[in-house]
């Protein structure tokens, strides 16, 4: 009824190639942005922020980053946790070394540092592929965590080996440390997420993205038509690590405030983000959001339902949570191997014709 392109005429190339060519889609997108920027900050409280929104926003950035590498360029990576740690530690070192520089720039520079490290660990991808590459990136994961545990310089020689985010402000409003207002940290992460998603979306539908997808679909054919695999693969690693690094920096500085590298950025984190990408949908920006939402919200939802709603013992609920989340993942992937994004795509196709599908 509403969701169709009939009568929606385009008169220029720019209009024709925009991200949301259908008018209804476009308005929905603006509505979501408006709610996220103009409504949520006024109603958000500490619980919603820390249990739902911050993890969702930050994991979305990480999932977008990993999706570029795995979904668009086809290079399987298990090093996400390690790269997030690079972002976190880079941010920490910058925050403590240059306290006068705005945290906003620290986060971006931390992303840049991670991009450099990611490119370095992406070098093996030029020679090895598939599972073998996954194992090589696994080495990055373990090496980086070991490094941050082993070399005291990274944690400023603190006795506990932890890094703690000191208080930093943007426009005089604290965004890290203990005295933060929920809306401030929420908006900071939302700005980063929006920017990341916009950049990622436009990269992936431009020349860079087409090169990545060519490499993903068949690297030999891509090389024959003139795609330089070295630059394509390494740029995918760099851009992906950049976003992952930003996610790591925000995860440490804004969300947790104190980080112990082995626990927070361990191999589990790598798997979690990879699952988000796979469940959400490989090669889709929307899929990154959907996957992050699924894996962040579902456990909280189940916990509140089982413990808060039904009053079951917490250990039983925690175990059931594993079973239910695991079962749902399997069911989803059997029903729709291309993830939540494909479900969304199919729903939209059907809506275009609804209510007269024939």
Partner 1 sequence: MKLKLATATAAAILAAAPAMADLVFPDLSYRTGPYAANGIPFSDGYQDYLTLLNERDGGIGGEKITINECETGYNTEKGVECYESTKGEGSLVYQPLSTGITYQLIPKVSADGIPMHTMGYGRTSAKNGRVFKWVFNYPANYWDGASHAVTHILNENDGDISDKTIALVYHNSAYGKEPIRTLEKLSEKHGYDLTLLPVDHPGQEQKSQWLQIRREKPDYVIMWGWGVMNQVAIQEAVNIRFPMENFIGIWWSGSENDVKPAGKAADGYKALTFHNLGSDYPVYDDIQEYVVDRGKAAGAGDQIGTVLYNRGMYAAMLATEAAKTAQEIHDTSAITAEQMRDGMENLEMTEEKMAAIGLPNFGPEFTVTCENHGGNGMGAVAQWDAEAEEWSLITDYFQSDQEILQPLIEEDSMQYAEENDIELRCDE
Instruction: State in angstroms the smallest separation of the CB of 47 from partner 1.
Output: 5
Shortest approach of partner 1 to residue 221 CB, angstroms?
Answer: 42
280 near 326, Cβ under 8 Å? no
Minimal distance in Å, beta carbon 286 to partner 1?
Answer: 16
Q: In the bound complex, what is the minimum distance in angstroms from residue 60's beta carbon to partner 1?
A: 16
Q: Which residues bind partner 1 (CB under 8 A)?
A: 46-52, 55, 149, 159-162, 164, 166-167, 177-179, 256-258, 260, 262-264, 266, 297, 300-301, 303-305, 307-309, 313-315, 317-319
Nearer to partner 1, 104 or 142 (CB): 142
Q: Is 53 or 121 the residue whose CB approaches partner 1 more closely?
A: 53
Residue closer to partner 1 (CB basis): 112 or 299: 299
Distances (CA, A) of 17 to 20, 206, 207, 341: 8, 11, 14, 20
Q: Looking at beta carbons only, is 50 or 124 nearer to partner 1?
A: 50
CB 29 to partner 1: min, Å: 17
Residue entry with tokens 């908006």:
187
Residue number with CB closer to partner 1 (55 or 111):
55
Closest separation in Å from C-beta 303 to partner 1: 8
User: Of 116 and 307, which has the nearer Cβ to partner 1?
Assistant: 307
Q: With respect to partner 1, which residue has the nearer C-beta, 10 or 350?
A: 350
Helix/strand/coil (H/E/C) assignment for every residue in 55-93: HHHHHHHHHHHHHHHHHHCCCCCCCHHHHHHHHHHHHHH
CA 356/CA 358 separation, integer angstroms:
6
Question: b vs e for 240-265, b when ≥16 Cβ sit within 10 Å of the residue's Cβ?
Answer: bbbbbbbbbbbbbbbbbbebbbeebb
| Token duo for residue 3 | 């969701």
* CA–CA distance, 11 with 355 (Å, rounded to integer): 28
Closer of 16 and 315 to partner 1 (Cβ): 315
Residue keyed to tokens 């809306």: 183
Q: Is the dihedral of CA 79, 224, 222, 237 positive or negative?
A: positive
d(CA 327, CA 108): 38
Which residue, among 215, 267, 219, has the nearest Cα to 236 in the 3D structure?
215
Closest CA relative to residue 44, chosen from 179, 214, 186, 200: 186
User: Could you tell me the smallest distance in angstroms from the CB atom of residue 179 to partner 1?
Assistant: 6
Beta carbon of residue 157, minimum distance to partner 1 (angstroms, whole number): 11
- Three-state secondary structure call for residue 207: helix
Q: The tokens of 226 are what?
A: 């003139």
Q: Can you tell me which residue has the tokens 């989803």?
A: 332
Pick between residue 21 and residue 309 the one whose CB is nearest to partner 1: 309
CB of 171 to partner 1, least distance (A): 19
């Amino acid at each position: 009824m509403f969701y169709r392109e009939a009568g929606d005429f385009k008169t220029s190339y720019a209009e024709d190639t925009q991200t949301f060519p259908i008018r209804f889609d476009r308005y929905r997108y603006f509505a979501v942005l408006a709610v996220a920027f103009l409504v949520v900050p006024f109603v958000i409280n500490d619980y919603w922020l820390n249990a739902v929104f911050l993890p969702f926003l930050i994991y979305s950035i990480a999932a977008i980053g990993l999706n570029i590498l795995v979904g668009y360029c086809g290079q399987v990576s298990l090093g996400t946790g390690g790269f997030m740690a690079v972002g976190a530690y880079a941010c920490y070192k910058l925050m403590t070394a240059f306290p006068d520089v705005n945290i906003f720039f620290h986060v971006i520079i931390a992303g840049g540092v991670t991009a450099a490290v990611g490119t370095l660990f992406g070098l093996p991808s030029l020679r090895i592929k598939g599972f073998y590459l996954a194992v090589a990136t696994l080495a990055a994961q373990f090496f980086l965590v070991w490094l941050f545990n082993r070399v005291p310089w990274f944690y400023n020689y603190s006795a506990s080996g932890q890094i703690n985010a000191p208080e930093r402000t943007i426009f005089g409003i604290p965004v890290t440390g203990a005295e933060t207002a929920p809306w401030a940290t929420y908006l900071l992460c939302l700005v980063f997420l929006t920017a990341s998603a916009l950049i990622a979306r436009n990269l992936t539908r431009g020349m860079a993205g087409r090169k990545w997808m060519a490499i993903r679909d068949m690297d030999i054919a891509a090389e024959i038509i003139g795609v330089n695999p070295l630059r394509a693969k390494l740029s995918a690693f760099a851009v992906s690590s950049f976003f992952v690094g930003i996610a790591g920096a925000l995860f440490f500085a804004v969300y947790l405030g104190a980080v112990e590298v082995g626990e927070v950025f361990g191999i589990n984190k790598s798997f979690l983000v990879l699952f988000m990408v796979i469940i959400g949908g490989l090669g889709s920006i929307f899929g990154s959001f959907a996957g992050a939402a699924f894996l962040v919200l579902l456990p909280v939802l189940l916990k509140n339902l089982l413990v808060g709603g039904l009053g079951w013992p917490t250990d039983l609920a925690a175990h059931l949570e594993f079973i239910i989340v695991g079962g749902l993942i399997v069911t989803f992937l059997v029903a729709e191997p291309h993830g939540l994004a494909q479900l969304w795509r199919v729903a939209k196709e059907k809506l275009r014709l609804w209510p007269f599908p024939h």
